[in-house]
Structure 1
Amino acid sequence: MAHARVKEIGIRKVLGASVQNITTLLSKDFLKLVLISFAIATPVAWWFMHNWLTAFTYRVTISWWVFVAAGFASAAIAFITVSFQAIKAAIANPVVALKNE
């Protein structure tokens, strides 16, 4: 995504955007997708795990904090990955991105 928006990032840098602004711009789209996928996957995962665990002799319930921890972990991994690429794109020289214009 950062490669596809190189010229936009270059123009924003020339106009005075900070690295934090560019990182936020690129990260929020991915975090929205991660949160939507988490909201869809949580009930499905709970249903499958509940059905699987009822087949055992010793019953075990699934705690709510397991799903919260999984959500935070997936959001953190997505944020770190996207932020790393966004910071690398934001630090790049905007002249190189705008040279082909």
Structure 2
Amino acid sequence: MNNWLEDFAYRIEIKWWMFAVAGFTAVLIVLATLSFQAIRVVLTNPVKSLRSE
């Protein structure tokens, strides 16, 4: 990939920490979403859900 990037006038080096930051950010977003959904489910009243069905 570095050989391909060398053909460009403006180029950057790909470092290992860029992938680590992207992976960590993705995991953080997933955990935040799952936590939000889990808390929302726990706080809902099951009686209201059963009445609406």
TM-score when scaled to structure 2?
Answer: 0.65
For 2:18, the equivalent position in structure 1 comes to: 66
The number of residue pairs the alignment matches comes to 52
Q: Which runs of 5+ in 2 are unaligned?
A: none
Higher relative contact order (CA 8 A, sep 6+): 1
Identity %: 44
- Runs (4+) of structure 1 exceeding 4 A deviation are 57-60
- Alpha-carbon RMSD: 2.6
CA distance in 2, matches of 1:58, 1:88: 47
Structure 1 unpaired stretches of 5+ = 1-46
Structure with max Cα Rg: 2
Aligned partners of 2:33, 2:11: CA distance in 1, in Å? 38
